[in-house]
A and B are shown apart, each in its own frame.
Chain A
């Protein structure tokens, strides 16, 4: 068995790591060391390492992935080295990344606290929802794309979020919480907030803990984006990284990932979806709203600064 030290392989995605660990050990004789990091932290760590790869694989959301791609932090992907590659829908393996699961973002609410559920993004800014709303800004992928969709319903676009800032300024005084993204599930669980924008993964996890929560696709459509695996530029163990990625997209691991406690939407075509996910088939993803992060990223720093200044006290 190949024993790797801590700086050899993998960062992020504890769930992905845990589900892949045993199959990878069994099939390829590879042991994995993990660094449990948010996507943004992974990119920051590799940038700070300045060419000395601190680990071999990234697990990223599209925002940080686009930033890392622009900074030249990825090795190219040779799809022919992935035995499970043909099981992944066309377009989900690119020149520098392999999709390992899909995320669906929409509105999550407590059905016991509202007589009628909201219909769309605009409802979040109206009573009785706004008083129980948990707001989060542009730090995360789900937060950013949700606010862009809110901007659209108020007449804005992915390049014009002005209309939503006007609404946010009015809503912030009434909102139940303006919090860090990672704090939102805890605030929902404790009843501090009863409505928020988040992904199906978080909803399934909370539901699994007995929290009263339902996922709702806004009338303008739910948002989808992919979580992708990448090989870090200058990685020490490229061959092992390919085996890891191949294992992660295998039907065996993907089947496990869609169950509790991971609740991830699989991308392997051979996997039969479980009914705890909020989608019935992978075809639904094609009808959902998507975003171009090469357009979003250049504006994001200014949005974050503006959110800090205008929405916070």
Chain B
């Protein structure tokens, strides 16, 4: 903890030169903050032609149960993706931790491999896997587990399955980093004192790896709630999420004030989810 305190407090006479952050800061100011303010301004136009000011777009969006459900569904998708990636990532991270250096290199390659392929390609590959005549259905029919193909595409379940694979590296990489740095003595001590494997996991491993999980969950949540391509291609038009709604309002309906309200909603609901995950960090232990 002493080391952490020294960094946090700073070394006297060794002040941070804020000019170092100026290039990125100015870029953000010009290309994020300024458009952000313009977007906010557009949202206060009452009509799609942007001729008169008013709160009509806001009241239409939040006054309509359909759009409130779109917000809820978008957040729910993010939560499901985080849960699914967590359930699969923790066992793999534990295997990784116990593996030999050579096996770890192989595992890292396998984990990183999806990142080397475009998300568009990965998403379209899931059509081939989940379709009626796809790999999953052919296998299930071949094994006699079902006589008619299951409907996996165009469902929330299919979308969560695809997103779990697509977003998995984002969960695994921070988790592996923190799990590899975990003190083995603490686990050994827990086991030596009679705790079961499960009790050791929940009382020692989980709290110690929580910062890694929070980082991974934040990335997965933000990425899956805004995954326009996967949501559109795998989810189809039966499932409406905020990114597709924004695209539709911008490019087809040309109702930019309404799209601006939806954009702000997406931004702040995702931000709220990230803040909630950050709040969990207070329960993390570092040693």
Q: A47-B254, A180-B233 are in contact. Are A304 and B248 (CB under 8 A)?
A: yes
- Write out, one digit per residue, whether chain B residues 237-263 have a CB within 8 A of any chain A CB (1) or not (0): 111100011001011111100000000
- Write out, one digit per residue, whether chain B residues 30-62 have a CB within 8 A of any chain A CB (1) or not (0): 000000000000000000100000000000000
Q: Does B202 sit at the interface, judged by CB under 8 A?
A: no
- In chain A, residues 168-208, which have Cβ atoms closer than 8 Å to a Cβ of chain B? 172, 176-180, 183, 186-187, 190-192
Q: Which residues of B contact A38 (CB under 8 A)?
A: 251
A187 to B134, CA, bound (A): 11
- In chain A, residues 118-133, which have Cβ atoms closer than 8 Å to a Cβ of chain B? none
Q: Which residues of A contact B154 (CB under 8 A)?
A: 177-179, 192
Query: What residue of chain A has the Cβ atom nearest to residue B70's Cβ?
Result: A308
Q: Does B114 sit at the interface, judged by CB under 8 A?
A: no
A304 engages B131 (CB within 8 Å): no
A312 engages B240 (CB within 8 Å): yes
A37 to B7, CA, bound (A): 49
A192 engages B254 (CB within 8 Å): no
Q: Sort chain B's interface into a size bin.
A: 20 to 34
Most chain A CB neighbours (cut-off 10 Å) among B66, B133, B153, B245: B153
Q: A183-B232, A187-B153 are in contact. Are A178 and B66 (CB under 8 A)?
A: no
- In chain A, residues 43-79, which have Cβ atoms closer than 8 Å to a Cβ of chain B? 43-44, 47, 67
Q: Does B179 sit at the interface, judged by CB under 8 A?
A: no
Q: Which of B127, B128, B237, B248 contacts A136 (CB 8 A)?
A: B237
- In chain B, residues 101-134, which have Cβ atoms closer than 8 Å to a Cβ of chain A? 124, 127-128, 131-134
Q: Does A18 sit at the interface, judged by CB under 8 A?
A: no
- In chain B, residues 43-96, which have Cβ atoms closer than 8 Å to a Cβ of chain A? 48, 66
Q: Does A13 sit at the interface, judged by CB under 8 A?
A: no
Min CB distance, A64 to chain B, in Å? 9
Q: A180-B236, A313-B238 are in contact. Are A192 and B252 (CB under 8 A)?
A: no
Q: Which residues of B contact A289 (CB under 8 A)?
A: none
Query: What residue of chain B has the Cβ atom nearest to residue A47's Cβ?
Result: B254
Q: Which of B124, B132, B237 contacts A192 (CB 8 A)?
A: B132
A301 engages B253 (CB within 8 Å): yes
Q: Which residues of A contact B245 (CB under 8 A)?
A: 308
Min CB distance, B125 to chain A, in Å? 11
B237 engages A178 (CB within 8 Å): yes
Q: A139-B248, A313-B238 are in contact. Are A190 and B254 (CB under 8 A)?
A: no
Q: A186-B127, A308-B66 are in contact. Are A180 and B132 (CB under 8 A)?
A: no
Q: A183-B232, A190-B131 are in contact. Are A312 and B251 (CB under 8 A)?
A: no
A190 to B128, CA, bound (A): 6
Q: Which residues of B contact A179 (CB under 8 A)?
A: 154, 236-237
B254 engages A177 (CB within 8 Å): no
- In chain A, residues 296-313, which have Cβ atoms closer than 8 Å to a Cβ of chain B? 300-301, 304-305, 308-309, 311-313
Residues of B within 8 A of A (CB): 48, 66, 124, 127-128, 131-134, 153-154, 232-233, 236-240, 244-245, 248, 250-255
Question: Could you give 20 example pairs across A and B, Cβ below 8 Å?
Answer: A38-B251, A41-B251, A44-B254, A136-B237, A138-B252, A177-B236, A178-B238, A179-B154, A179-B237, A183-B127, A183-B233, A186-B124, A186-B233, A190-B131, A190-B133, A191-B131, A192-B127, A301-B48, A308-B240, A313-B238
Known interface pairs A44-B250, A176-B132, A178-B237; 16 further A-B residue pairs with C-beta atoms within 8 A, sorted by A's residue number:
A40-B251, A44-B251, A138-B252, A177-B154, A177-B236, A180-B232, A180-B236, A183-B127, A183-B233, A187-B131, A190-B127, A300-B252, A301-B253, A301-B255, A304-B248, A312-B239
Top 7 A-B residue pairs of the complex, sorted by shortest distance between their CB atoms: A191-B133, A190-B131, A179-B236, A40-B251, A301-B253, A44-B251, A192-B131
